[in-house]
Amino acid sequence: MANPGDPRFQPHQSGASEQPTTAVPTSGPASGSWSAAGPTGPAAPGQQPGQQPVGSHHPGPGPAGPQPFGAPLAGPTGAWQPPPARTSRLDLASVLALVAVVAGSVAYFMGFVSWVTIPTNADRQFEDWASQAENGIGIPGFLSYDIVLNPGRFLIVLGVVALATLLVLAPRYRRALSILAVGAAAGWLGLFAAALAIPPFIQIGTGAILGLVFGFVQTAALFAAAFVQGFGRD
């Protein structure tokens, strides 16, 4: 027989409605979870308690929201940066090397132009100069037939250096600039000594003058390029 005092047999009261409860995780609202009583705030009309509102966004873990349209993409520094533009222009060392190539080529072809001009009475003038030398006139150390009358070897050195300078236009062979500069200096100094040792009664030719000028330009350009390349590495 049912015990009237038993709470399980209490009569059903009219007008009282039981709200169904759903056991759901009770995390904070920042993570987008639901509590036992449903979403925070009162339920919308026609909505069951504990039901997610229709059309509402269920936030989840991640960024606060989409970035606005047109905003720059975030990079390692926090702002989007364009890639560096590549330039194909030549550097100063390459320009100086090209100048050395042109000057050395011109100096080489001066070997086909007159080196000295010997007058018709050169024999008599040479005897007079030799007799004056015996009376105390100094004789240059570079005065020899091998140097004065055969300066072509020095012009060949300048031409070879000019061809080799074409290789240093490639960045891999830039270290050879100092060697080429020393080689050009050796050729030009030999050419300069041969020109100074010419006896005064022999006139210097056009090839000697232009060879000395362009050889000096070639040597100076190579030394400048070597210095620019050397200081640029530091």
pLDDT tens-digit readout, 118-160: 777 767 777 776 676 666 666 667 777 777 778 899 999 999 9
Strand segments, DSSP code E, in the chain are: 116-117, 203-204
What gap in Å lies between CA 59 and CA 32, rounded to an integer?
A: 5
- Whole-number pLDDT of residue 118: 77
Q: Could you tell me the residue ranges of all domains in the chain?
A: 92-115+142-232
- Whole-number pLDDT of residue 187: 95
Q: Judge whether 185 and 217 are in contact, CB under 8 Å.
A: no
What gap in Å lies between CA 159 and CA 142, rounded to an integer?
A: 23
Task: Report the relative pairing of strands 203-204 and 116-117 from DSSP bridges.
Answer: antiparallel
Q: Judge whether 106 and 100 are in contact, CB under 8 Å.
A: no
140-146: long-range pairs with CB below 8 Å, 24+:
140/196, 140/197, 141/197, 142/193, 142/194, 142/196, 142/197, 143/197, 143/199, 144/197
Average pLDDT, the chain: 73
pLDDT tens-digit readout, 46-105: 555 555 555 555 555 555 555 555 555 555 555 666 665 554 456 888 999 999 999 999
Token digits of residue 17: 């409605």
- Whole-number pLDDT of residue 19: 52
More confident residue, 173 or 15: 173
Tell me the average pLDDT across 1-28: 52
Eight-class DSSP state of 233: T
Residue 167 has pLDDT above 70, yes or no: yes
Q: How confident is the model at residue 25 (pLDDT cuts 50, 70, 90)?
A: low
Token digits of residue 73: 């993409």
Q: Judge whether 157 and 104 are in contact, CB under 8 Å.
A: no
Q: Judge whether 22 and 50 are in contact, CB under 8 Å.
A: yes
Tell me the average pLDDT across 30-42: 49
What gap in Å lies between CA 114 and CA 128, rounded to an integer?
A: 25
Residue 205 has pLDDT above 80, yes or no: yes
Q: Judge whether 225 and 93 are in contact, CB under 8 Å.
A: yes
Percent of the chain with pLDDT over 70: 55
Highest mean pLDDT among 46-50, 65-69, 190-194, 229-233: 190-194
CA 37 to chain centre: 67
How many alpha carbons lie under 13 Å from residue 220 in its C-beta half-sphere?
7
- Whole-number pLDDT of residue 191: 93
- Whole-number pLDDT of residue 177: 92
Q: How confident is the model at residue 33 (pLDDT cuts 50, 70, 90)?
A: very low
Residue 117 has pLDDT above 70, yes or no: yes
- Whole-number pLDDT of residue 10: 55
Residue 27 has pLDDT above 70, yes or no: no
Residue type at position 143: L
CA proximity to 148, closest of 103, 204, 105: 204
- Whole-number pLDDT of residue 37: 47
- Whole-number pLDDT of residue 91: 85
